Copies of this chain bind each other. A is one copy, B any other.
């Protein structure tokens, strides 16, 4: 996440004394397009930052032992083992690819880095798991191996959108659930709110329901029923929001079905390439046009960096019994490092416990109100 560095500074002072229990994270070293080197380098960067923050940690790189060793101990350099920040290799013979059918990964590839990494969390040997691999497979394997948080019907994957206010908007679901019930949308709203409150430091996050009009009567039957659930909850519900409200920052958290969310997410990711190609087509003219284009392209590059959010930090898988972050296949070592730090934050702030509590409170409120 682009804004993670500034958040680290915010989090840092709250750590009065070093934590005794080390933060243990399992990293799927075979996930990204550039695996395992992005993962190994990312682990090194994150361990250095955590060491500086006096957070004891053990980063477990799960994957092909030889490939990881070759990168982790190149002949010319040597990582100094540290009491505070350790990097370990957990061998895994197999790896999940993009072609693997998500639903059967646990059964078909029990010795894959993804399955072994998640099992470390399930067995209590790791506090978090991150992977830049097959999103559907992570979702499916994590749900199967870790189970769901009490009160959660369906885990959800969120994504961050830049807004014109400069803050981020968390849209969920973006593909984990193609069809949703009103109850699911309501639970997504609770999970998103807790995330925005704890991690994005937004007090009473504004929750919007993605719809095709502002009126309560708009949308499908499911969406109309979800509107009522949200309206009667203790969440800071700002009502229906429309497609154009994602970018305007009218809400901090927006919930929708995973079909719509996925289409919008992928559509958003294609804005930068479209603008670039349109600009390029316009630049077949003279010298001044080319110069103008160059200036424009440079400015745009900075602006459009905001759109490449996935590359910079991954997105949380919320609702499973464990901290899990999913990264883009194109994750750089910087992105992997950000994912590790984000996972630490989520663990440190006990986000899953808070989600469980919040869902429990909400349910009691609803029951009392009936």
Say whether B273 contacts A302, CB under 8 Å: no
State the A residues within 8 Å of B (CB).
162-164, 166, 175, 178-179, 210, 212, 219-220, 223, 242-248, 256, 258-260, 262-271, 273-275, 277-279, 281-282, 292-293, 295-296, 298-300, 302-303, 306
Contacts of A175 in B (CB 8 A): 212
Contacts of A282 in B (CB 8 A): 299, 302-303
Say whether B259 contacts A164, CB under 8 Å: no
- Say whether chain A's binding surface is mostly helix, strand, loop, or mixed: helix
CB<8 Å pairs between A and B, sample of 19: A162-B278, A175-B212, A178-B212, A212-B259, A242-B263, A243-B269, A246-B267, A247-B274, A248-B273, A256-B263, A260-B260, A260-B263, A263-B263, A263-B264, A264-B267, A292-B298, A293-B299, A295-B295, A296-B296
Say whether A270 contacts B299, CB under 8 Å: no
How far does the Cβ of A97 sit from chain B's closest Cβ, in whole Å? 15
Say whether A274 contacts B212, CB under 8 Å: no
Say whether A270 contacts B248, CB under 8 Å: yes
How far does the Cβ of A88 sit from chain B's closest Cβ, in whole Å? 35
CA distance A242 to B260 in the complex (A): 11
How far does the Cβ of A132 sit from chain B's closest Cβ, in whole Å? 18
Q: Smallest CB-CB separation from A262: which chain B residue?
A: B212
Say whether A243 contacts B259, CB under 8 Å: no
CA distance A243 to B162 in the complex (A): 18
How far does the Cβ of A114 sit from chain B's closest Cβ, in whole Å? 19
CA distance A267 to B303 in the complex (A): 18
Say whether B292 contacts A299, CB under 8 Å: yes
Say whether A300 contacts B306, CB under 8 Å: no
Say whether A247 contacts B267, CB under 8 Å: yes
